[in-house]
Amino acid sequence: MLKKSQILFYPFIIIISIFVILSTLYIEHILLVPACKLCLYQRIPYLISIVICFFGFFFSENKIWLYLLIITFFSSVALSGYHLGIEHNIFNEFSGCTNESFKTTDKIKLLESLNQYLPNCKDVNFRVFGFSLATINFIISIALVIIIIKYFRDEKNVKN
């Protein structure tokens, strides 16, 4: 028989992931705050975690899903940490983060590039309680890694 924590763990991670994705989509499309490339990339671990949690919920006897979740959210910590470092000028922006298209002198190309505008990764266009979204994602990702590792250890101790 499944324990209450086993029943609630994967749905909890799914709910957090869906909330994060819906929040970013709301900010981007309803509030019209453009997302940089790293902001877009930071959504991928949450999408992956939804799929992993789906399988983990139905095949909970296999611990591979917990390992995959840990790896997924460690990658989210790395992505958001890198983005945070760019925002605070610790790291240089990679070429995909800068708007090189504005250096063109051709008017037609310039007008076309305005339709595909993505902000620089170091520019913070939106804050919540003074924190950039990269900072919030970094905090959420670290919290999720800690929660998943704690759950994994608890499951391991129950088996022994």
The H or E element containing residue 38 is: helix 37-41
Distances (CA, A) of 97 to 25, 65, 123: 20, 32, 10
Domains present along the chain, CATH in parentheses: 4-159 (1.20.1550.10)
pLDDT per position as a tens digit, 38-96: 889 999 999 999 999 999 988 888 889 999 999 999 999 999 999 999 988 888 877 66
Residue 12's SS3 state is helix
Distance CA 144, CA 157 (A): 20
- Which residue, 110, 108, 115, is CA-closest to 100? 110
> pTM score, two decimals?
0.83
pLDDT per position as a tens digit, 62-71: 889 999 999 9
Tokens of 138: 């970094």
